[in-house]
């Protein structure tokens, strides 16, 4: 399955990197690399993570990674996984452009 990122998730990756970079550029780069590697591994087992607690859709999942929640949607007919949102577990920012409320 192909991994695609929503505009919101791309923006959130940039914000996360900027936040971590305040303390250490190396740490920020390592964190983003590990996060992207983990996201890219979804193509092997897309249903590995729990059904989303934010949506009533079996194909929308929540992956937890080092204190962050990555919400993604599995689209089997398109053979695609779309990363919808990435946020600190304590600070959800859902609803801007994530029209996946089904």
Q: Is the dihedral of CA 28, 70, 82, 36 positive or negative?
A: positive
Query: Which domains, and CATH codes, for the chain?
Result: 2-88 (3.30.2310.20)
Give how far Cα 19 sits from Cα of 7, 16, 43, 66, 95, Å: 18, 5, 28, 14, 22
Does position 93 have pLDDT exceeding 70, yes or no?
no
pLDDT tens, residue by residue, 24-77: 999 999 999 999 999 999 999 999 999 999 999 999 999 999 999 999 999 999
The answer to whether the pTM exceeds 0.75 is yes
């Amino acid at each position: 399955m192909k991994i695609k990122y929503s505009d919101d998730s791309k923006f959130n990756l940039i914000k996360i990197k900027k936040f971590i970079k305040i303390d250490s550029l190396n740490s920020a780069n390592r964190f983003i690399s590990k996060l992207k590697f983990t996201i890219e591994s979804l193509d092997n087992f897309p249903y590995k993570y729990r059904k989303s607690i934010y949506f009533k859709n079996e194909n929308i999942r929540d992956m937890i990674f080092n204190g962050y929640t990555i919400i993604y949607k599995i689209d089997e007919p398109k053979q695609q996984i779309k990363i919808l949102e990435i946020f600190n577990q304590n600070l959800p920012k859902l609803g801007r452009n994530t029209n996946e409320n089904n």
